[in-house]
Structure 1
């Protein structure tokens, strides 16, 4: 003979529903895979390895300009007016500067004659944190804490200094992106 079920309190019923709605313990939450990928990428950079990361996703977007004299003047101008311009990667082989700007900047970036801004779903390879000179891409301005290049002052500096060549044709050839 079975004994009647003991009454279950309202608190116990709520807890049972929470446990059931959470799913199996072996199934990670849907957004945890993205978080794990970001953490692995950031740890790779700290262990002195280049690492590929997806733009956006709460990290950063990227503004692309030439790496010529005018663009270097823009770095100096940003250093002066912003008390540091934020992180910039230089690719000497491609002749480009990659300015790391806040995530979502690509959505608000109006077409610019001398720069392009990309966000998700594009990716970028970050040089290891100890790479500050060629060969290969390196940190022209290494990251300092959580500071990124502010898009509005950067846009103004680039409009004033007009770095050439523009990245638009290269992006169109490589990614099919037009401005």
Structure 2
């Protein structure tokens, strides 16, 4: 049984959303202040450059876990559940996986002993779409490889509860962000 497929919006879909949200002619869109940033992000992604993006909004949130052997087992489990795991970035320097989950997931996330979910106002640097090996953060599961589906939150949460990847990211993230989990 596979979970409903969440998808990352394409550049054309994001632009269409911006056009539709602009409203009547000569009436600025509510999110017009973000337009230039969105366009720069789209251009950077399309030109295969690392791209810093804000979490939340209409794109995605991230679930952060360790990237050790147990977390790789969670990817294998999500491969089975999802017919190919959604996008996951590995940061070998920190020893973390960033699982790209549907936007708004942070609001639904309950405290978890082995993972943290972050959305806005935090940011993440997406590696170039062609970076699939270290050094530096790289796509452990690139979006193109899985038809741009995001990782479904509930099956991921259950997989992480079952597999329990260690070490947990809570203390390191708390120190880096100055917050408590």
TM-score normalised by the chain length of structure 2: 0.82
Cross-structure match for 1:177: 179
Cross-structure match for 1:120: 120
Cross-structure match for 1:102: 102
Question: Retained in 1: the 8 A contact 2:51–2:126?
Answer: yes
Cross-structure match for 2:9: none
Indicate yes or no: 2:166 matched with 1:164. Answer: yes
Distance (Å, rounded) in 2 between the aligned partners of 1:46 and 1:132: 16
Give the unaligned 5+ runs of structure 2.
1-23
Deviations 1:28-53 (A, max 9, x none): 54412313312321220221110100
Give the unaligned 5+ runs of structure 1.
1-17
Where do 1:71-90 residues align within 5 Å? 71-90=71-90
Distance (Å, rounded) in 2 between the aligned partners of 1:146 and 1:82: 12
Distance (Å, rounded) in 1 between the aligned partners of 2:48 and 2:170: 31
Cross-structure match for 1:34: 34
Cross-structure match for 1:58: 58
Distance (Å, rounded) in 1 between the aligned partners of 2:32 and 2:148: 22
Cross-structure match for 1:152: 154
Cross-structure match for 2:92: 92
Cross-structure match for 1:4: none
Question: Retained in 1: the 8 A contact 2:70–2:163?
Answer: yes
Secondary structure in 2 aligned to 1:76?
Answer: helix
Point out the structure with max Rg over C-alpha.
1
Deviations 1:83-111 (A, max 9, x none): 11100000001100000000000011000
Count of residue pairs brought into register by the alignment: 156
Question: Retained in 1: the 8 A contact 2:87–2:148?
Answer: no
TM-score normalised by the chain length of structure 1: 0.83
Distance (Å, rounded) in 1 between the aligned partners of 2:62 and 2:29: 29
Distance (Å, rounded) in 2 between the aligned partners of 1:44 and 1:83: 29
Distance (Å, rounded) in 2 between the aligned partners of 1:170 and 1:43: 32
Cross-structure match for 1:130: 130
Secondary structure in 1 aligned to 2:98?
Answer: strand
